[in-house]
Structure 1
Amino acid sequence: MSKMIMPLLTAAFAVLTSMPAEAAVQMLDFTQGNYCNGGELCTNNAAIDKGHGSTAEVSVNFGSTYDGFPSGPLYYYERGFGDLVGVAYSNKGSTDFRTRARITLSAAAGYEITLKSFDLGCFVNLANCQTATYNVNPGAGGYQTGSLGTGYPTHQNVTFNAGYGNVIDLWFGAGENVGIDNIKWDVRAVGAGAVPEPATWAMMILGFGLVGTSLRRRAPTLRRQLV
């Protein structure tokens, strides 16, 4: 019996170590809560705390930019951006197309991330938000750029299918009247999705071969005992 157990354990170990761990979907939305102005309840036009939504695996950083330079925080708004409920938007008071929001997601050591999707909405269909632009490093490197209608009175969903990396960098705008919500990404342990090494495959084949050999040798013994 012990001769069978060891090959079984060897094969099982090889299978388990070669199986990729599943990525965990995380989502950042802007449901009203105490994450504005240093932990206060968010109200319309309140500044969102810079690290809101950070987890042990991923740190989040919010900010507005003007001509590519930092220009302040992002702000919270409850309703009016299409049919979205609770959004983040760039500097209030500016309708300049050079004003854009920036959200950076950084994976902690030992993890990697990829962007899946986000929603964009236009504030009461004002002219400068009927079309929104975005620039995204979705995790794997290589920026993706797009320009799309924001779909008022509903919203526009933007999806991605990219590889994993250390950082997601997202700019969107233009002007203050484009809001974002429901930012989704996957996070996983580094190397979790890697293809098994040749040595691992060899161990699996050897383990299953030993199991088959043990079963064949054991079959005549069982027949003799029955006789």
Structure 2
Amino acid sequence: MKAAIAAAVASFAIAGSANAAIVTGFIPGGDAPIGTDTLLYDFTDGNLGVLDPGYVNTKIQSTTDGDGAQNPFSIPGGNYLDVLAGGSATITFDSLMRSISFNWGSVDSYNTLTIHWSGGDEVVIGNPGGGDQSNPSNNGVFFATVGAGESITGLTFASSQNSFEIDDISGSAVPEPATWAMMIAGFGLAGTALRRRRTAFAAA
């Protein structure tokens, strides 16, 4: 798995902040969500309301549209986000994300992904050798993870030609400060309980 990820990372041209606090990669044939990510948007209801108002030349594509578009997502299939020539779509997450993943279909050199995160914008260019929807190595799951103290705020999908196909956008939120406090308090209580058990066993 690690070798596949390393090879896939090398197939992308990465430009932007070049900060080591963000790790990106692509798993050919993979399916989002991965790791601790949970599904956020799957476009099943055909609703573009999750996108910022500024999206252009973007549609929810389905196999029933009759326009000849080939669905690159055989599993699970269904609707997906289609960014057409000259189009773009931005998603701003409701919560700060520690990691994101999404299904990227038919990875083309004219697809551009911008990851908006606390370290600056990270731009990912599609694989120049991709574009074959029938080739499993050109359809898979893209992921990005940031380090401690960092967060991902949104994604922008753009394409200069038809098309940039996206599905199953997923993410793992940065824990809220209150959640961290509860976790630390929980660890403290667990430690106290263990110390008391050890004392009781020693007395016995």
**TM-score computed with the length of structure 1 as normaliser:** 0.50
The higher-RCO structure (CA 8 Å, 6+ apart) is 2
Query: Would the alpha carbon gap of residues 151 and 208 (structure 1) be closer, same or farther in structure 2, given more than 3 Å must change?
Result: same
Query: Would the alpha carbon gap of residues 176 and 194 (structure 1) be closer, same or farther in structure 2, given more than 3 Å must change?
Result: farther
Structure 1 stretches lacking a partner, 5+ long: 1-22, 36-47, 52-60, 64-69, 220-227
1:30 is the counterpart of 2:43 = yes
User: How many angstroms does 1:196 deviate by?
Assistant: 6.6
User: How many angstroms does 1:135 deviate by?
Assistant: 0.8
| Equivalent runs, 1:46-125 vs 2, <5 Å | 48-51=47-50, 61-63=51-53, 70=54, 72=56, 74-79=58-63, 80-81=69-70, 83-84=72-73, 85=77, 86-90=79-83, 95-96=85-86, 99-107=87-95, 112-122=96-106
Amino acid at match of 2:90: R
Query: Would the alpha carbon gap of residues 49 and 27 (structure 1) be closer, same or farther in structure 2, given more than 3 Å must change?
Result: closer
Give per-residue Cα distances to partners, 1:92-129, cap 9 Å, x unaligned: 6xx34xx322222222xxxx42342112335xx9xxx5
Query: Would the alpha carbon gap of residues 78 and 185 (structure 1) be closer, same or farther in structure 2, given more than 3 Å must change?
Result: same
More strand by share: 2
Percent identity, aligned pairs only? Answer: 14
> In structure 1, what is the equivalent of residue 132 of structure 2?
152
**TM-score computed with the length of structure 2 as normaliser:** 0.55
Structure 2 stretches lacking a partner, 5+ long: 1-35, 64-68
Number of residue pairs aligned between Structure 1 and Structure 2: 151
Q: Which has the larger radius of gyration?
A: 1
Query: Would the alpha carbon gap of residues 81 and 28 (structure 1) be closer, same or farther in structure 2, given more than 3 Å must change?
Result: farther
The counterpart of 1:143, out of the listed 103, 121, 126, is 121
Amino acid at match of 2:81: A
> In structure 2, what is the equivalent of residue 181 of structure 1?
167
Q: Matched residues in 2 for 1:131 and 1:72: separation?
A: 16
Amino acid at match of 1:152: D
> In structure 2, what is the equivalent of residue 11 of structure 1?
none
Query: Would the alpha carbon gap of residues 158 and 205 (structure 1) be closer, same or farther in structure 2, given more than 3 Å must change?
Result: closer
